[in-house]
Structure 1
Amino acid sequence: MKRHQIITAAFLGSAIALGGLTVGAGTAHAADRAGKESAKKEAGPTVRAEIGNPLKAAQELVKAKKYKEALAKVREADGVADKTPYETFVMEETRGFILMKTGDQGGAAKAFEAVIGTGQLSEEDRLKRVQAVAQLYYQAKDYARSASWTQRFLKEAGPNEDMRTLLIQALYLSGDFATAGKELTALVAAKEKAGQPIDEQSLQFLANIAVKQKDEAGYVAAVEKLVRYHPKAEYWQDLILRMQKKPGFNRDRLSLDVYRLMLAAGVLTRGEDYVEMAQLALGDNIPGEAKAILNKGFAAGLLGTGADAERHKRLLAMAEKQAAEDQKTLAASEKEVDAAASGGPAVRLGDAYAGHGQYQKAAAWFEKGLKKGGLKQPEDARLHLGIAYLKAGDAARAKQTLGAVKGGDGQADLARLWQLVKAG
């Protein structure tokens, strides 16, 4: 999320240009004033000399960068009693401008608050001052006041992404993490609905807000969005690690499925992980998958080198032999599997076809197995069906199937993360 920068230009087009300040003659006779009444109306409101003259002097001092002396002249004008709203407006506008020059953002914000309170501004200029007050308080690190004035601006001026960003930052820095998270979540949701890009910093900020609130579910949801819109290895690794640490996750039964997800997400980076994944596949009688995994490990330069090079080669030779034998029997076993009373054999055949990269056939057998029923782990089969659809290029069915996966052992979490994997 980008840092909000204060907009000083709002003051440069001020309704009062000090050089054009109209100062009334404090010593003018009543008759002279009466005679010039219509001219005054046309020229606009005036400022009494005892106020206007110090302010004119303040302007000259500002030009000379003598800000301390300029502020003293403003205080001199402020000492005059019974100021009109317009005189207060001119004086506080001048004070605010000088305080900005000195770097006193908090003091400038208070001065412009007083300007707003005079009622002398047009609607457009009033909103500019409200915006500026919010920004100045932020610069002054008075985040609670900044948030309050930003909320006022958004309520009165309508949607403004920059100011909403300022609001979220101010809320966060003021310690109001709950409201900051609510605002940022709504902003992200609105962008998603409109099909607009979501910047990585905003999602990182959302994750950080969840950490501040100790909201694990909120944190995971934010990182899942990071994976969706800005896929990086560190985000995937974080999600997969947290998934495995969830209470009830069956790591023993779902280890191969975890490795499959890691491979698809591009975070399977160690040679020993490729070896273990291949061994798990061989143990589940899916030699085609074991062969494919090992070939990828060799292609990546993670296997076939170092002290274990010969062991890697022997494992690959064994996987290749078993995969070749398996492929010869697949078609012949279809009739037998079709005749089985339960869906278990069909699901195992689906796993075998998927291991050989034949995902359309795999999906067909997973469907048959689920339809027949009698499965010990039907949600595992549904997960594998969704993955087969995804790898076969059927994104719509993959999304529908993966979205329907249930199960408290970890299948539902795996299915949700598979929906973040790019097809192919």
Structure 2
Amino acid sequence: MKLNLVTSFCRFSRSSVIAVAACFVLAPVADKASTELGLSSSFVSVAAAAKVKDKRPLPGISESFFKKLGRVADLVSPAPNKDGSEVPPNYPAGLEELRKIEKGCEKCNGYELAQIYNYFGFVYYSMDDMKNAVKYYDLVVQQAPLIPWGLELQTVYTLSQLAFSNEDYSAAVKYLNRWMEYADPPSADAFYLRAQICYQMDDKKCASGSINTAVKMVEDSGKIAKESWYSIQKALMLEKEDYKSSLVVLHKLVRHYPKKSYWQQLPSVYGVLERDKEQYYFLDASYVAGAFEKDSHYLNLAYLSMANDYPYKAAKVLEEGMKAKIVPRSEKNLETLSAAWRLSQEYKKAIVAMKEAADKAKDDGNLYAQLMDLYLTVDDNKSAVAAGNKALKLGDLKQEGSVNLNVGIAYLNMEEYEDAIKSFDKAMKDKATKKFAESWLKYAKNELFRQQQLAK
């Protein structure tokens, strides 16, 4: 419909030859490109407010030339039928008509040539032939200063967008800088577009300056910048490790565009800045907001909860993650779950988690050693001995002497003094536990002697 509106305006303006200057077919082109690039449709209208330093005396356009262009308009942007149904454009016929006009245009002035090239660019763009569209729009610009400022600037802006879409970033920024030189003032959208182009060119300084200006212009007007604008701003800040500034932008994103990814990123940045309290608070907030999707999210909150003396919260978070099958029930994760329950003084739950973890161990007895300690805590000496002996059998222990010592204590609690003495003898061989084992050994021997005397 935009194409029809533009051409109908031109059709009604044919009574005045001078009015052809208003019949730019660039409007729908720039409109579409602006939409594709996430820009405001009002961006191109700034061309009308160009900083014109000198008024341009324009050559005239003949009535006959104007009628020729009218035939092109009828082909490429035909009026609707009487019943209101749309008539499809005939671009090949329009191009053929334009070639005839161009061929017979030996005496045409620059303004008239610009109108021909302008139509060529529009038709090729409509046919998705971007290479030829750029070629002819560039020819329009080359007719300056024999064309209106508005036509020149609008064409330059369209060329910038087309170059950007074609990934010709150097040309895109060249055209855009030319447009911004005369725009009064350059809009926030223009700075955003330049930020995009510079980012693709890996010119981070230009990209940062442009996006910061764009966001400031919007916020100074009392409005909120678009999400994509804040996202580029944040990405550039993080790339240069400006974490403090990125926090400000992340807070804006969380406030105005509360997506899971922003909730997840916010505590990570606090962590990099070693602001542990804020990291914990915002990680917990993202958990409440339902933003957890990875096992690392649950595990990080669990670790921070324990570090901040909230072990029960850590255990519940891990259990939820495991129940949702996001956190794997691995030896390490189950060991962490057991530690959380133990710190919460929920020893039975700690034993269940540690037993599952220990059962997964094939050649490492350290988890069984921890399980033994838990059994001793709840006075389950028989289970403690079984876990301790399993730990010694698997081996690779960090503190073998401590395991033998605790096994001896468990036997002692069950009044099995001979087995206790054997365990304490083994613990005596470890320098780290020799002193303690010596005391327990002496006590066990005395108890054994007392038991034997009572038996006699």
When normalised by structure 1's length, the TM-score is 0.48
Flag the structure with more relative contact order, 1 or 2, with Cα contacts below 8 A and sequence separation at least 6: 1
Return the index of the structure with the highest Cα Rg.
2
